[in-house]
Chain A
């Protein structure tokens, strides 16, 4: 579904992604794990079109999307839940969700997706008219996810959905990610919480200082000594 071939991305002089390649098949949950500053968010921003790769290609459903503007990427069916939620704090929950469906014109479909999102996150329904800046961190995470789903994406990019959340809430969020996946949405999950990420993923990639250093099924990587030492806090 998504095929990234040997992309190089720079921030000015800093070589942030060095020849990264990655594949995602339809229906999968793929996770990208790595430490702070390894290039995880950079990769997601590049897929979403916020950054342009200097070289390399990104194919989404066999079409070249590298370097395209974010609008086109969203239109093609890739939505992102950015790191730190980035909800529009000055707007209500409902308005945030409406913005998620910004490019869509099918009123009926949008209404259906409103219902779906509220079913997935009943909390958002309760707070529908509330300013999203007044929500708790967990609720903002739900809103950011709901907002991305309003675009009816076929591929959902999630950037550190567990960041700053209480362990119980992290569990809820991950259960919901699985639910979203079961309704047919492919997922690329970026996480520092490697344990949780590997527990729901089919496959995983490990990124270190801009390079993919390991990949395999989630089960394989979860058992690899090297990975356990570096990312799982295991012995």
Chain B
């Protein structure tokens, strides 16, 4: 029982990392109908920026988190402007292939610049003690991860629902031409979406580094794919869906590990993808919206 709860806590921590990455996938898909396969690599870049901020600039966790988010936001906007914007009216498959190309470019560009060797996050960044809860030891890091993730998701909900740019984002994702007729600058709105999604991936990168310690240039591939599964699980294009999908996937993986199938956890994530595509292709939160004429 104790081990079960321990795994549940691990699952929630892992799941909140998936959720943060999945949000970027889902927001970008919502607005430009593109699966941005380079998104997992933005997460990797975020982890490295956080690492260098902590080791070279001797910053604490929160400043490193902020720097990583800001740098990733900028990086995401650059990727969009350079690689995707020229293809906005091209076929979707062309944009998709470009996304895979961008992904490989970032991965091997990083290896070219700094080499392929892994790094280890220093473990004294957040001196947090473990907490005993119902007889289960919960690491302070798990709690910090969950707190930061929840905070970022609340901020995101606020931005999307209450601010002008958030409303513009929702309008553009629903109907670009109608949004233009309102005087909304579609290009800037798309850039803002990439910026926000990438900042969340950057945050996820730093949190991941803190929690799992080891980071390396190809670390974004598997979490990126898992987050994609999470986004599809929740319903691609739906923000609360990505949050729930991410947490759910993390918990499922942890429970599979707890039941002794830790070698199966990656497989299970993709089995979830296959099942959801067969039985509920619109995702848990998705519904077919019919429009009135």
Contacts and interface: CB of A to CB of B under 8 A. Distances in A.
Interface string B169-200: 01100110111111111000000000000000
A27 interface: no
A86 B172 CA distance: 12
A50 B174 contact: no
A49 to B, nearest CB: 8
B183 A102 contact: yes
Interface string B195-215: 000000000000000000000
Nearest to B238: A90
Contacts of B291: 89, 133
Contacts of A80: 181
B284 to A, nearest CB: 17
A50 B177 contact: yes
A91 to B, nearest CB: 6
A113 interface: no
A71 B174 contact: no
Contact of B164 (A50, A90, A102): A102
Interface footprint category on A = 20 to 34
A99 B293 contact: no
A75 interface: yes
Contacts, number: 75
B162 to A, nearest CB: 10
Contact of A164 (B167, B175, B185, B293): B293
Best-buried of B179, B181, B185 by chain A (most CB within 10 Å): B181
A122 B45 CA distance: 53
B177 A82 contact: yes
A71 B181 CA distance: 7
A137 B291 CA distance: 10
A70 B180 contact: yes
A49 B185 CA distance: 12
Nearest to A49: B180
B293 A137 contact: yes
B168 interface: yes
Chain B residues touching A, majority SS: helix
A89 B185 contact: no
A192 interface: no
Contacts of B114: none
A88 B183 contact: no
Interface in B241-273: none
Given A95-B167, A136-B292, A137-B293, A86 B184 contact: no
Given A50-B180, A74-B183, A82-B178, A91 B292 contact: no
Contacts of A140: 292
B170 A90 contact: yes
Contacts of A133: 289, 291-292
Nearest to A87: B178
Best-buried of B167, B178, B185 by chain A (most CB within 10 Å): B178
B177 A99 contact: no
Given A89-B291, A133-B291, A137-B293, A71 B180 contact: yes
B94 to A, nearest CB: 18
Nearest to B175: A86
Contacts of B178: 82, 86-88
A52 B259 CA distance: 62
Nearest to B176: A50
Nearest to B292: A137
Contact of A74 (B170, B174, B175, B182): B182
Nearest to B290: A133
Interface of A: 48-50, 69-71, 74-75, 79-80, 82, 84, 86-91, 95, 98-100, 102-103, 133, 135-137, 140, 147-148, 151, 163-164
Top 5 A-B residue pairs of the complex, sorted by shortest distance between their CB atoms:
A74-B183, A86-B178, A103-B183, A70-B180, A71-B183
18 contacts: A48-B181, A69-B185, A70-B180, A70-B183, A71-B183, A71-B184, A80-B181, A86-B178, A86-B181, A88-B170, A88-B174, A90-B289, A98-B167, A99-B167, A102-B168, A137-B292, A137-B293, A140-B292
Interface of B: 164, 167-168, 170-171, 174-175, 177-185, 289, 291-293
Given A86-B175, A88-B175, A89-B174, 20 more contacts: A49-B180, A70-B183, A71-B183, A71-B184, A74-B183, A86-B178, A86-B181, A88-B171, A88-B174, A90-B170, A90-B289, A91-B167, A91-B174, A102-B164, A102-B182, A102-B183, A102-B184, A103-B182, A137-B292, A164-B293
